[in-house]
Amino acid sequence: MGTRGPAPKPARLKILAGETRPSRVNYAEPIPGGGPLSPPLDLRDEARIVWERVVDALGPTGVLTAADKDILRLYCEAVVRYVEAETLLSRSQPLVQGRDGSLVKNPLHQIVRDNADAVRKYARELGLTPSARAGLRGEMDGQANSATAKLDAIIRAARRT
C-alpha cells in the first residue's frame, strides 16, 4: 500500500513557494543531474510542439530536469491524443447507432475523458496546473532565480560535509 495523502512537494518547489522553516525542506533530497531537455528523437511533431511550449515555460525555473523526460513525454503525447479525440468527437454526434440499432453514447466520449484525466494527472506531477503554481514566487527571466540558486548552494554545502 502506498503512502497516504498528497504527494510531497520537491524541495525546489517548497523554496520557490517561500518555505522558510528548515524542518519542512529536505535539503538532502536527491537532485537529478542537469542536461538539456531536448525532446526524444521519435516524438511526434504535434507532441514536440507541446514539449517546446512546456520547456520554454518551466525550463528557467530549474524544476524540470533531464530525469523528467519520460513523464514530460507522456504528458505531451496525452495532450495530442486528447486534441485528436476531441476533434473527432466535435465532428460527430454525441449519440451513435449501436449494433442493435438503438442509440448509444459515442465511444469517443470515453477516449476524450481518459486522455483529459491523463493530461490532468501528468500536469499535476510536472507542476503545470494553476494549483501547483499557486504558491510559487520569483522572477523567471531565463536565469536561475535567487531561491533556486540559494537552494543549490545549500545542497552543495550539505553534500560537502
Task: Write the pLDDT tens digit of every residue in 88-118.
Answer: 999 999 899 989 999 999 999 999 999 999 9
> What pLDDT, on a 0 to 100 scale, did the predictor assign at position 86?
96
Name the stretches of the chain with pLDDT < 70.
Answer: 1-3, 31-35, 132-161
> What pLDDT, on a 0 to 100 scale, did the predictor assign at position 156?
66
Mean pLDDT of the chain: 81
Q: 106: buried, middle or exposed (CB in 10 Å: 19+, 13-18, 0-12)?
A: middle
> What pLDDT, on a 0 to 100 scale, did the predictor assign at position 17?
79
For the question of whether the overall pTM of this predicted structure is more than 0.85, the answer is no
Contact 20, 141 (CB under 8 A): no
> What pLDDT, on a 0 to 100 scale, did the predictor assign at position 144?
45
